[in-house]
Amino acid sequence: MLKLIVGNKNYSSWSMRAWVLLEQAEIPFEEVMLRFDAFDATSSFKKAICQLTPTGKVPVLLDGDLAIWDTLAIAEYLAEQFPDKHLWPQDRAARARARSVCAEMHAGFSGLRSHCPMNIEASLADTGRLIWRDQPAVRNDVARLMSMWQSLLAEHGGPLLFGNFTIADAYFAPICTRLKTYALPLTPTIAAYVERVMALPGVQAWIEAAMAEQDFLPFEEPYRLRR
């Protein structure tokens, strides 16, 4: 059976992508969670993860003796191994577009990533208002997301970015949680898409597990002194 190594569900956006993809597509796998105690070389997390991947980061997918790291590589591997799941759109042009937006997410949106770190159990609307006021990079990232999603939803008719669930929706699921946590302003169409993603069974299962962790890590939350 496939084995997926993940970090804390409340904080690990990269882990969420791979986990939600497997769960929502109903691909059997075993989860192994490595707690984020710290990220220096002497931490328990780094010592454990560096035995599995040279990057020292989660997620990692294990298929027997094969280790696949990097979320996009994991997604491509799963699409090849389970073609019947149609993890990418079946249409060639749509598939190329889906790969493009996932790669854009993979490499971009640094303003939203840095100023609005994922924190599923938190409700930080006040913080979000300050970030929205003071950080043009966040406003630009959200504007790009809304433009992208609006175009894809209109082109493919919804309810998700390419009609049915694909890797693209799994890729943007952590961003949807950020938009909710910080209550960033969205158009009604985009807010409705965010709600549909949040309601997916695979996403709901991740959120419920994140809420149950009750594991406050101060180094992950520079904007909060306590839970």
Residue 47 pLDDT exceeds 70: yes
What mean pLDDT, rounded, does the chain reach?
A: 95
pLDDT tens-place string over residues 101-113? 999 999 999 999 9
Using a 10 angstrom Cβ sphere, with 0-12 exposed, 13-18 middle and 19 or more buried, the burial of residue 59 is buried
Listed by start position, the domains of the chain span 2-85, 92-208
Q: What is the 3-state secondary structure (H, E, C) of 131-143?
A: HHHHCHHHHHHHH
Q: What share of the chain is helix, strand, coil (3-state, %, to 5)?
A: 55, 10, 35
pLDDT given at position 193:
98
Residue 227 pLDDT exceeds 70: no
* ∠ Cα 159 14 179 (to 5°): 50
List Cβ<8 Å contacts ≥24 apart for 206-209: 206/9, 206/16, 206/19, 206/20, 206/23, 206/120, 206/173, 207/120, 207/177, 209/9
Q: What is the DSSP string of 6-75?
A: E--TTT-HHHHHHHHHHHHTT--EEEEE---S--STTSHHHHHHTTT-TT--S-EEEETTEEEESHHHHH
**Sorting pLDDT into bands at 50, 70 and 90, what band is 219?**
confident
Residue 224 pLDDT exceeds 80: no
Greatest pairwise CA separation for the chain in angstroms: 50
pLDDT tens-place string over residues 60-97? 999 999 999 999 999 999 999 999 999 999 999 999 99
Q: Please give the CATH superfamily to which domain 2-85 belongs.
A: Glutaredoxin (3.40.30.10)
Amino acid, res. 177: T
Q: 9 and 213 in contact (C-beta within 8 Å)? A: yes
- As a whole-number percent, the residues of the chain with pLDDT over 90 amount to 92
Mean local confidence (pLDDT), 189-199: 98
pLDDT given at position 226:
54
Q: SS3 for 4? A: strand
- As a whole-number percent, the residues of the chain with pLDDT over 70 amount to 97
pLDDT tens-place string over residues 118-177? 999 999 999 999 999 999 999 999 999 999 999 999 999 999 999 999 999 999 999 999
Residue 184 pLDDT exceeds 60: yes
pLDDT given at position 120:
96
Q: 49 and 34 in contact (C-beta within 8 Å)? A: yes
What fold, for 92-208?
Answer: Glutathione S-transferase Yfyf (Class Pi); Chain A, domain 2 (1.20.1050)
Cis peptide upstream of residue 159 (ω within 30 degrees of 0)? yes
pLDDT given at position 121:
94
pLDDT given at position 38:
84
Cis peptide upstream of residue 117 (ω within 30 degrees of 0)? no
